[in-house]
Structure 1
């Protein structure tokens, strides 16, 4: 029975990874001044998997998604873009899933996603300033860097986090019991209208 459950989980993780990979192809810029900052909704299946199976599985799905994009499409940024996507993705998904895992309620899901967005904002700035921009060979003056952080990264990650959270909020309840076999706490169904 345990092996059968493990196989079912593995199939669901593979499916979520494939969906996330496909969603990476649908991206769009939101801040004209920084056209390389493109939003995609590939974190939605990652967050759904993390809610259903735990933060560790969320990390696995995030990794597989980025690995698939490199293998199938290649990297136009010398892997910097994919590393950025992975770091920022798990920065949102892991805290949200950890909070939700403690008690699977609508309230904890919402709190988790809000905390995830805030952590993603902080990690996104730190990762960009100290690792990603230097790795990509971008050198900015202090004024340009401040503008990039305040006008680019903060709104970009905020918009992305809200879009991912809203989409997950709308989809997870519909799929949680039928697809993920996620049984919420009694009388406190995740993302229910109660």
Structure 2
């Protein structure tokens, strides 16, 4: 008779991890609702800091868990608000860009758990967050917005109220949306760096 003892495999999502993910998803959903307009941007573009919560999940639990928090946040918000005339494209856009942000930052930090690499992870994540937003906006999001809000001329009119020299959608995205998205990513990264260390023991279940 063999005396070999088979080691039990630790499940990827432990009960505690699921509870923490659910808690962070709920917080992210609430923060997502606390969006606000910003100067020098059209009224339909809002700032929110929900990616702070997703980044916390990525750093404390893992990159996949951060993506799951992004997904739950957007699914819950979509269920509450409904798809509307834009077919939920704002939520889809937010999920894809936020997931890319959290996955990138989380993967870097997972392999190099130092403060230096945490900063690098946040910067690289913010850059990915920004770069991926341009083709998504230009080819998918804004064509749907054109149909929902009265055509391309109506959208461009909002940008021209801010800068009369805007001549095309691509120019508007480069002049306004790209800098805004990068600032949003950096702001979320900075807040995450400030609060992660004191919250890390609680999120990881360590005293």
If the length of structure 1 is used for normalisation, what is the TM-score? 0.85
Q: Find the partner of 1:27 among 12, 28, 35.
A: 35
- Consecutive unaligned residues of structure 1, counting only runs of 5 or more, are 184-194
Tell me the residue number matched to 1:118.
127
Q: How does 1:1-194 map to 2 (within 5 A)?
A: 2=10, 6-76=14-84, 77-136=86-145, 137=147, 139=152, 143-181=167-205
- Consecutive unaligned residues of structure 2, counting only runs of 5 or more, are 1-7, 157-165
Give the superposed CA RMSD: 2.2
Assess if the C-alpha contact under 8 Å between 1:20 and 1:43 holds in 2: yes
Give CA-to-partner distance per residue, 1:89-140, whole Å, 9 cap, x none.
1121111111101111101110011001111111000110111112333536
Question: Which has the higher mean CA deviation after the structures are superposed, 74-83 or 167-176?
Answer: 74-83
- Find the aligned partners of 1:13 and 1:108 in 2 and give their Cα distance: 23
Question: Which has the higher mean CA deviation after the structures are superposed, 101-110 or 140-149?
Answer: 140-149
> What secondary structure is seen at the aligned counterpart in 2 of 1:24?
helix
If the length of structure 2 is used for normalisation, what is the TM-score? 0.80
Residues 61/109 of structure 1: CA separation in 2 closer, same or farther (3 Å cut): same
Bigger radius of gyration, 1 or 2? 2
Tell me the residue number matched to 1:188.
none
